[in-house]
Amino acid sequence: MSCKQTTLGAPIAFSGKGLHTGAIVSMVVLPAEADRGIVFRRTDLKGGPEVPALARFVSDTARGTTIKQGKAKVSTIEHLMASLWMMGVDNAVVEIDAPEVPIMDGSARAYVEEIAKVGTVELEAERRYFEVPERVTFAIEKKGVEIVVDPAEEFSVDLTVDYSSQVVGRQFIHFDNSVDFATEVAPCRTFVFLHEIEILLRLGLIKGGSVESALVVVEKPISDRSKRRICRAFKKEDIEVENGYLNHSPLRFPDEIARHKLLDILGDLALLGVRFKGKVTALRPGHLANTQTALKLSKLLA
């Protein structure tokens, strides 16, 4: 485990659609000096306003994590944050010309691959580790959501998802420092239940979504009317259901959904701003619970 802070070995660039806005996004992640942390800079706005990637700047958690400070607002940051954190990057400036990070293929694979190409470099400053001093909990009882963080000598996560779904089932995943994030977690795609899609469309969301960048879980037969609406939304001539998934491309892992929720929680907990030692136990976590847990932990920082 490195004792020194790090940054990227060179800039890395990405381009793609925002999941919810549908806007084409260009993004460059730049090396940064020690103690800068991860900062997002809106290059499309006058003066290039910035917002630090910290829990206290979270402004929205509907279908993704959004941070905001003044005019600088950036959404769907969790996959990039997880990639930077788990690939060992402590300091970086993310220049982005739109209000949302590109969704890529719905996973963090592209981010991890580019970080791996340029590698990291050590800086002179010491890396800070936060040792969780006491149990921290956050729960939404009516939704069966609970996150518990206990003191521990190392960082680990035990995560369970259970949506009472015959397709998804109950899935459990464990993560610690022995797990290769790049191959075991980063490739896992975001997901949505079919019955949620029309609601999201009515809310003006998932304008950049596609069956190529998300797993769509189908619990019940699809009516012809619903098929037509979904085809129009995703610009498809036809849709099919196979093994409970819409226009199914093979699952990358049998428990890909649990692994994606792990990806999300890692990205959201990175908003603590420092690496920490603690055992995280999460049941049906989501962005609200994840970021509120990070905020609670941040209040214990000396």
In a 3-state reduction of DSSP, which class is residue 117? helix
- Cβ proximity of 171 and 298 under 8 Å: no
- Regions of the chain where pLDDT drops below 50: 1
Cα dist from 43 to 19, 49, 84, 95, 102, whole Å: 19, 8, 20, 6, 15
Residue 114 in tokens: 């580019």
d(CA 299, CA 302): 8
Task: Say what the pLDDT of residue 247 is.
Answer: 66
Task: Say what the pLDDT of residue 117 is.
Answer: 98
**Residues belonging to the active site:** 287
4-128 CATH, one of 3.30.230.20, 3.40.50.300, 3.40.640.10, 3.10.20.30: 3.30.230.20
Task: Say what the pLDDT of residue 217 is.
Answer: 86
d(CA 280, CA 265): 10
Residue 13 in tokens: 């660039």
Cα dist from 146 to 12, 56, 175, 267, 287, whole Å: 36, 20, 17, 17, 12
pTM of the model: 0.92
Task: Say what the pLDDT of residue 78 is.
Answer: 97
Task: Say what the pLDDT of residue 198 is.
Answer: 67
d(CA 300, CA 70): 26
Start-to-end C-alpha separation, the chain = 22
Task: Say what the pLDDT of residue 222 is.
Answer: 77
**What kind and span of H or E run contains 162?**
strand 156-162
* DSSP bridge partners of 145: 140
| Residues carrying CATH 3.30.230.20, the chain | 4-128
Nearest to 215 by CA among 274, 260, 177: 260
